[in-house]
Structure 1
Amino acid sequence: MEVREVALAPGEPYELRLTGRGARGYVWTWRVTGDADAVTVSEAPPAAVERQGEPEPPLPGATVERVYVVRGRVAGRARIRFAQVRPPYPEEAAYDEFVLDVVVG
């Protein structure tokens, strides 16, 4: 599990890219602890692969990078735990985890 710390100003965004494994049924979920009001988290739409100037969807079974935007709101410290899980199997341990510690000042 990787842990990263970032410092943001109120209103400042931070883009986090995580490798998706949607073809295997995994999705990224997140949970904010600490000063939960200090940040917002949203998922950006998946990017299409550009071939010869035209955007195309990714090939079936390909790993797809997921982009999450963390935005500072008010001063505080928040911890965001991203976990890659398969929703139909909640008893399984997460396939991968990533922790982002955010200081908003």
Structure 2
Amino acid sequence: MEVREVELAPGEPYEVRLTGRGARGYVWTWRVTGDADAVSVAESPVDPVDPVDPGRPLLPGATVERLYVVRGRVAGRARIRFAQVRPPYPEEAAFDEFVLDVTVL
């Protein structure tokens, strides 16, 4: 699990790119703790491209990157925990996790 810290001004965006495993049934979820009003999180579309040959379309089942935009809203400190889970199996531990500690100045 990676933990990263960032400082943002109100309105400033920060991009988080996470590797998807949708073909295996995993999705990324997130939960904001601390000053939850200090930030907003939104998933943005990413054009899937082959990392070896960007001109070639991805094959079915290929790994697709996910892009999330975290935006500072008001002064405060928030922790965002991204977890890669399989929704049909909520009792399973997350396959991967990423934590972003955000301070909005």
Q: TM-score, normalised by structure 1?
A: 0.92
Task: Give the alignment of 1:2-81 within 5 angstroms.
Answer: 2-49=2-49, 50-51=54-55, 56=57, 58-81=58-81
Gaps of 5+ in 1: none
Name the CA distance, whole Å, in 2 between partners of 1:22 and 1:92: 16
Question: CA–CA distance in 1 between the matches of 2:48 and 2:61?
Answer: 14
Q: In the TM superposition, what whole-angstrom CA distance separates every residue of 1:12-51 from its partner, at most 9, and x where no partner exists?
A: 0000000000010000000000000000000011313251
CA distance in structure 2 between the partners assigned to 1:95 and 1:6 by the alignment? 24
**Higher relative strand content:** 1
- Report the counterpart of residue 99 of structure 1 in structure 2: 99
Structure 2, unpaired ranges of 5+? none
Question: Is 70-79 or 40-49 further displaced after alignment?
Answer: 40-49
Q: What is the Cα deviation at residue 61 of structure 1?
A: 1.3
2:87 alignment partner, SS class: coil
- Alpha-carbon RMSD across the aligned residues, in angstroms, is 1.1
Amino acid in the other structure paired with 1:91: E
Looking at structure 1, the residues matched to 46 and 35 of structure 2 have their Cα atoms a distance apart, in angstroms, of 28
Q: Secondary structure at the match of 2:37?
A: helix
One-letter amino acid matched to 1:22: G
- Confirm or deny: 8 A CA contact 2:33 2:80 kept in the other structure: yes
